[in-house]
Amino acid sequence: MDQITKQTELSKDEIFVLLRTFIIDVIGEEFIEASEIQLNSSFTRDLDMDSIEMVAFSEKVKNYFGDEIDFTAWLSGLDLDQIIELNLSEIVNFIESCLS
């Protein structure tokens, strides 16, 4: 799942399902079930992820999409408070906008 690949045909739902897989990989399936991860889930408040888990998640996104999206630049443009409050739909929308 961490291989760089071209995925320009992904729909919004498919991006969400993919990111959900990344989150389960990072947190561990013993701690979270797929049904608990919703499009409007916030990474810290709802998914209880800390900053180093966010790093692991970001790396999975970057490794998967490669040069198709500049995830680092997008994240660094957010304030720390915005990163803390970030929810899954914001990332899905960003990735979709890069792929379209």
Partner 1 sequence: MPFIKANGIEFHVQEMNRGADKIIVLIHGMFANLSMYYFKIAPQLAKHYHVVMYDFRSHGMSQKAKTGFDLISLTDDLVSILDQLNVKSFYLAGYSYGAIVALKMTTRFPEKVNELIVIEAPDPGVTDVLEQTIDFQQLAEYAHGDNAVSEQKLIGKRQLEKYKRSFTQLMDESSAKQDMFDQKDFFKNNLIDRINQRTLLLYGLSSDCKDACNELYDKIPNSSALFLDGDHRLPIQHPDKVAEEIEKFLLHEL
**Binding residues for partner 1 (CB under 8 A):** 2, 27, 31, 44-45, 48, 50-52, 54-56, 58-59, 72-73, 75-76, 78, 80, 83
- CB of 9 vs partner 1, minimal distance in Å: 27
- CB of 11 vs partner 1, minimal distance in Å: 27
DSSP tag of 3: S
Nearer to partner 1, 12 or 59 (CB): 59
In order, the DSSP letters of 51-95 are HHHHHHHHHHHHHHHGGG--HHHHHHTS-HHHHHH-BHHHHHHHH
Nearer to partner 1, 75 or 99 (CB): 75
Q: What is the C-alpha separation between 53 and 47, in angstroms, rounded?
A: 11
> Are the CB atoms for 65 and 57 separated by under 8 Å?
no
- CB of 28 vs partner 1, minimal distance in Å: 9
